[in-house]
Homo-oligomer: A and B are copies of this chain.
Amino acid sequence: MTKPYRLRPFVAAMPATVPFVGPEAQERARGKPFRARIGANECLFGPSPKAVAAMAEAGREIWKYGDPEGYETRHAIAAHHGVRPENVVLGGGIDGLLGNASRMFVEEGVHVVTSNGAYPTFNFHVTGYGGTLHKVVYRDDREDIAALLDKAGETNAAMIYLSNPDNPMGTWWGADAINDMIANLPDGCILLLDEAYGEYAPAGVLPAIDTSNPRVLRFRTFSKAYGMAGARVGYCIGEAQLISEFEKVRDHYGMNRTAEIGAIAALGDHEWLASVISRTAAARERIAQIARDNGLAPIASGTNFVTIDCGRDSAYAKSVMEGVLSRGVFIRMPGVEPLSRCIRVSAGFEEDLEIFAEVLADTLKALR
């Protein structure tokens, strides 16, 4: 019998990988909710109450499609960053925008460089468009800029991916190092600079935005410090001509109208953002202290999570994560050695972290 349908051979041959299993699936499997949800680097402190109010007020108006030009949202973002609206494109979170960028640049025969253990969703997009990924080893728990550049030159790569501050390690490079990297990109290679955690970064980490440079795309999001992961609002800043190329591949009516209204309100609430950042810093300190109290080594973080070195191999860290999960606390861990000697814990309220402290101690005791 002939096949009833004809998938593209490339798609037919693709594995059906899902970058991350959600906590909801784990809750369904365990038959009860987690006691603390501190695994997906969400912002438990939530969105600005002004964003919540703006979204609630706009609720009934959801019968309207969003503005396909995202005019007001792009103008608000542009004003916030001191760039022009033409330098900003909206997307369904950084995930969606990385998908768009992959579609613009990647096809079979195109080489792309990332770090081994860096964001799996980026890899999902690159391989999903037929690209060849080259993965560079982290050095001292940081993405290795020199090695990324070398590998890009060696493979004639079209793109390098770098997250700064980094996920899943929480480490970072200063703006000077990033600017050096940009200056030394091989011919015809652009940098996808994922700054999802940019608002949490220490001073001096985010380079000044240079929208005259068509070799850098900077990705930002309302999913982290703005506390709106479920809204799917991200944006990419870059040189105007390059940004305009997104129009060819993006879903013009794809943005949730209410989410954009919330994002604009969130962007205007500087006080809330400052309070989130300060509460997150305190939570990082507390997580680090919990790690040390249990004889583990927290890695300094410029994000809203702390990655904790469990001091042994991947199998041990996995046992620790599973012990914590089975005791009702949702956390995750890096997927690739040597990063996978660690577990990763997101900032949360004091009560979330106390639960974590309790179950971590229990877990380690049980593992001894």
Interface residues of A (CB under 8 A from B): 2-8, 10-11, 14-22, 24-25, 28, 37, 40, 42-47, 52, 55-56, 59-69, 71, 92-93, 95-96, 99, 103-107, 110, 121, 128, 158, 187-190, 214-215, 223, 227-232, 242, 244-245, 247-249, 251-259, 262
Contact = CB atoms under 8 A, between A and B. Distances in A.
- Tallying the copies of this chain within the complex gives 2
B214 A5 contact: yes
B253 A95 contact: yes
Contacts of A40: 65
Nearest to A242: B5
A38 to B, nearest CB: 12
A62 B248 contact: no
B22 A44 contact: no
B256 A232 contact: yes
Given A95-B251, A253-B93, A5 B158 contact: yes
Nearest to A262: B62
Given A232-B255, A254-B92, A8 B66 contact: no
B7 A245 contact: yes
A17 B249 CA distance: 10
Contacts of A228: 62-63
Given A25-B71, A71-B24, A256 B231 contact: yes
A37 B63 CA distance: 11
Contacts of A107: 8, 10
A5 B105 contact: yes
A207 to B, nearest CB: 17
A158 B229 CA distance: 37
